[in-house]
Amino acid sequence: MSDIEKRIEELTKELNYHTHKYYIEDAPEITDFEFDKMLVELERLEEKYPEFKKSNSPTARVGGEAVSSFEQVHHDVPMLSQQKAFSKEEILDFDRRVRAVVPNVSYVVEQKIDGLSVSLEYADGEFVRGSTRGDGITGEDVTENLKTIRTVPLSLKDKIPYLEVRGEVFLSRDNFQKINDIMEATGQQLFANPRNAAAGSLRQLDPKIASQRNLDIFVFNIQQIRGVDILTHTQGLEFLKEQGFKTILDKSTYDTIDKAYERIMEIGEERGKLYFDIDGAVIKINNLAARDILGDTSKFPRWSIAYKYPAEKKTTVIQDIKVQVGRTGAITPLAILDTVHIAGTNVSRATLHNLDFIREKDIRIGDTVVIQKAGDIIPAVVEVIKEKRTGHEKEFEMPQNCLECGAPIVREEGEAVYRCTGVNCPAQRFRNIIHFVSRTAMDVDGLGPSVIEQMLNRNLIETAADLYYVQTEDIEDMDKMGKKSASNLVNALEKSKSNPLYRLINAFGIRLIGEKAAKVLAAKYKTLDNLIKADRTELTALEDIGEKMADSIIRFFAQEQTKQFIKRLEDAGVNCVDNSENTIVDKRFEGMTFVLTGTLANFKRSDAGKIIENYGGKTSSSVSKKTTYVLAGAEAGSKLDKAQSLGITVISEAEFEEMIK
């Protein structure tokens, strides 16, 4: 074995060991800096000597190449769902059915993770394939995405001839919140809950996106195994833990259904304290031979049942109503409650959503109310007990100015939410800065959410303008940074100063103003100063700028916070002039509107959109009678159908390429 191959093997083994210590055992032995230093060395060696790369290399965690679609996978052992119970009586009925066939059984009870069920397959101890549950018989091959999950072992401790396990991919509550913060900051649709986020992340065609989501997994069942004899469920989970899997291992077994039900109730009390979501608890027979005797129906196994927790309700009193400013500027009223114990936690606050919700339910300060945990996470007021009113209750009024920064609070026509308009509002800093440096705004390479968070925590920055005053030595000792990365980031910030004016306007994050409107404004006013001086009549005269957008622009630039923010940008040397000289010479698409749909083979849709705009045309996200062409790629959907129904001309990618020659 050569020295290079030996070093690659050493690094692979060492990094996999520390990954297990950090993510499975929660007992790290080295710093992130030391880990990353070894990982970079391994990446460079594998790039130079790919013939020596190991199948279990930790570099697979960062994501491989994107695919155009997922291959189907047939499950030899069906991935069945669970029969459900909603009461103790149904649990007792399950026990009677079981004991009628197998009189002497013991049970195990496990948390039912609210995530996405997957299969992991190993051959000779190496991870070879991972797939989604799908319909239980046929799933999708998501191997590359599953490799990015650090709690999925790429190699097992022993070279087991064949092993298939079933697990649940999930997102922690903290990671779910971080992902939604980023989605909101970059103008993308938010995930409804951690389960949806986990499912959406695992089914990304580009594994690099999945790798950024920090997915996790708990393994809870052996589907198939060869070369090892396993007699009980608890023995199987102990074995899986030894092999390197992350399992929810409750070693207790219960000889009676009453004791098993007591454990279900205990889990119900504990669920509010967990860092992940559960949607119930599962009772399983421990002995695998007894499971075989009972068998399965076409939908679920006869040897297990899932108990679903009802939403717990409690009565309490609203002592006050205060407002909270979210990271997107949304003002949310919160009820301050007499503390009650519900779903395993003490609750002293509950969301009231918005002013319309408060008025609709006639909620007042001093009211006696019924609360419950929506999805067992967020406490919410569901009912007012008006019979208990004394006449001393007070109606709530929304404040006119933000309590965090003093900027005006506004409610756009047709919206339920009130918002803070402050550009420097402390509650919105993280979101505002993420948007400012995003790809369609100032496009600062290497400045991700974790780096921004560290800068804020170190008080290096308060607003996005402060980024241009950060020096290499200020950040080189941050996690996952180093001197070279810090220098690259400072250089990227310096480069962004010369961006076109429209990028800066978009980066401001002015409500209702996106990239397209920013281009219109930059082309019309040429300088930021001219735009600041524009009045409502001028703005609304522009194509694509409506009355609400004009009001939002004027309101933004009128604030003292905005003036200070722009002054700091100008002092740093950020370009505030439309100096691109991008007068359109070839106007072949002037007056035309294109809608792009489906997957293009030779262009990203964003790149095709830029080509259209460079030729004087416009792009739109929706099909209407004003649409000139619909450019349809592979797997085009409802937009293509609508175009055909309206008689809009549909062009292929090849036809588009002819048009731009």
CA 152 to chain centre: 19
488-520 core/surface letters (b: 16 or more CB in 10 A; e: else)? ebbebbeebeebbbbbbbbbbbbbebebbbbbb
216: helix, strand or coil: strand
Q: Supply 596's token pair.
A: 């792009």
State in Å, rounded, how far the first CA of the chain is from the last one. Answer: 54
381: helix, strand or coil: strand
Q: Which amino acid is at 377?
A: I
CA angle, 209 then 215 then 221, to 5°: 135
| Residue from 48, 53, 88, 112 carrying the catalytic annotation | 112
Task: State the burial class of residue 165 (Cβ atoms within 10 Å of its Cβ: 0-12, 13-18, 19+).
Answer: buried
Going 422 to 423 to 424 to 429, the CA torsion angle's sign is positive
Residues 371, 375: Cα–Cα separation, whole Å: 13
User: How many other CB atoms sit within 10 Å of the CB of residue 326?
Assistant: 16
CA distance readout (Å), 509 to 143, 418, 428, 470: 38, 17, 11, 22
Q: Under a CB-based contact definition with an 8 Å cutoff, are residues 350 and 380 in contact? A: yes
Residues 440, 435: Cα–Cα separation, whole Å: 9
Total count of residues recorded for the chain:
661
Question: Which residue, among 240, 234, 191, has the nearest Cα to 217 in the 3D structure?
Answer: 240
243-273 core/surface letters (b: 16 or more CB in 10 A; e: else)? bbbbbbbeeebbeebeebbebbeebbeebbe
Beta bridge mates, 263: none
Instruction: Provide φ and ψ at 181, rounded to 5°.
Output: -60, -45
Strand (E) or helix (H) holding 576: none
8-state DSSP, 484: H
Question: Which residue, among 478, 570, 469, 474, has the nearest Cα to 527 in the 3D structure?
Answer: 570
Q: Under a CB-based contact definition with an 8 Å cutoff, are residues 425 and 329 in contact? A: yes
Q: Under a CB-based contact definition with an 8 Å cutoff, are residues 255 and 262 in contact? A: no
Q: Which amino acid is at 402?
A: C
Question: Which residue, among 484, 501, 488, 478, has the nearest Cα to 444 in the 3D structure?
Answer: 488
Q: Is 13 a catalytic residue?
A: no
Q: Which amino acid is at 648?
A: I
Active site residues: 112
